[in-house]
């Protein structure tokens, strides 16, 4: 039986925050073109004026897209910048294969006045449905009860038996917690951290303080930590999943940082 593969990627695109957001868009596209991922979970995705950032990227790259909102952080309510007025903020999944179905699921959030969502997607991989759970978890350290509840919630989505099948199940996103955080304890118990399994550096960082617009106010639980993750589990008991390689991406393009986060990329191969 031939092995099956997927190149998975997760990336927080920094919405329209920071300086020169328009100038960052070519770098985002160029990074995706260079890496050619099969499935991508995106966070801090903008939507407005009859389109979304995910749909524009999909059209440019020959991919398929699905978008959902609301997510973290909330879009500015009293926006002064005209580029922010009426613009939504959400999460998305891109796929080079057709998207067979998706569901938008509200996550637990007792401390917020709105319901942040996770996105579950069935991607039409050549060997069968490839389930993807995409999310961005709460970043508010004072609300760590919500953060733990959400970490448990998305891990339970990824381990739901309805997602068993011929492909591994992927949980991807800006989970706003280091892999050893209580927020991700459930995920670590029932899923595999692709970065660790692929031999990634233990001190890798996806929200670096060296970025010119680094959100230093986020504190040591977020800044200079690996808070963007790809987790997975086999889709069947006899399925063996190998992580062939992992890498970070999102370096400056033409001297401009595409985002304040770095992306995480993992190449998975499986059989069985």
pLDDT tens digits for range 87-108: 999 999 999 999 999 999 999 9
pLDDT grade for 173, boundaries at 50, 70 and 90: very high
Q: Is 81 helix (H, G, I), strand (E, B) or coil?
A: coil
Structure-token pair, residue 200: 């990634």
125 touches 84 (CB < 8 A):
no
> Residue 170's pLDDT is what?
99
Collapsed DSSP state (helix, strand, coil) of residue 21: helix
What confidence score (pLDDT) does residue 2 get?
Answer: 59
- Ordered by where they begin, the domains of the chain are 4-271 (3.60.10.10)
Beta bridge partners of 232: 170, 192
The 10s digit of each residue's pLDDT in 210-239 is 999 999 999 999 999 999 999 999 999 999
Give the closest residue to 151 by CA, choosing from 75, 231, 218, 97.
Answer: 231
Is the pLDDT reported for residue 266 higher than 70?
Answer: yes
The mean pLDDT of 1-10, rounded to a whole number, is: 87
Q: Give mean pLDDT, residues 3-20.
A: 96
Q: Is a pLDDT exceeding 90 seen at residue 1?
A: no
Confidence of residue 79 (pLDDT cuts 50, 70, 90): confident
The structure tokens listed for 40 are 């991508």
């Amino acid at each position: 039986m031939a092995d099956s593969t997927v190149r998975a990627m997760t990336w927080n695109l920094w919405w329209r925050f920071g300086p020169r957001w328009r100038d960052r868009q070519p770098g985002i596209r160029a990074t995706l073109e260079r890496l050619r991922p099969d499935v991508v979970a995106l966070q801090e995705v903008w939507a407005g004026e009859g389109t979304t950032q995910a749909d524009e990227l999909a059209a440019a790259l020959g991919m398929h897209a699905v978008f959902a909102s609301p997510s973290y952080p909330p879009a500015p309510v009293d926006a002064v910048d005209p580029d922010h007025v009426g613009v939504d903020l959400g999460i998305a999944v891109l796929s080079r294969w057709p998207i067979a179905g998706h569901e938008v699921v509200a996550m637990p959030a007792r401390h917020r006045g709105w319901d942040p969502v996770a996105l579950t997607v069935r991607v039409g991989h050549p060997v069968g449905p490839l389930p993807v759970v995409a999310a961005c978890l709460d970043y508010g350290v004072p609300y760590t009860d919500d953060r733990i509840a959400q970490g448990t919630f998305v891990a339970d989505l990824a381990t739901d038996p309805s997602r068993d099948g011929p492909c591994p199940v992927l949980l991807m996103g800006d989970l706003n917690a280091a892999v050893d955080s209580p927020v991700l304890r459930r995920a670590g118990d029932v899923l595999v951290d692709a970065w660790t399994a692929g031999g990634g550096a233990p001190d890798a960082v996806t929200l670096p303080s060296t970025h010119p617009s680094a959100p230093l106010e986020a504190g040591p639980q977020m800044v200079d930590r690996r808070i963007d993750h790809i987790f997975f589990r086999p889709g069947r008991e006899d399925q063996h999943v190998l992580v062939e390689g992992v890498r970070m991406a999102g370096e400056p393009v033409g001297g401009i940082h595409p985002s304040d986060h770095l992306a995480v990329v993992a190449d998975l191969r499986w059989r069985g």
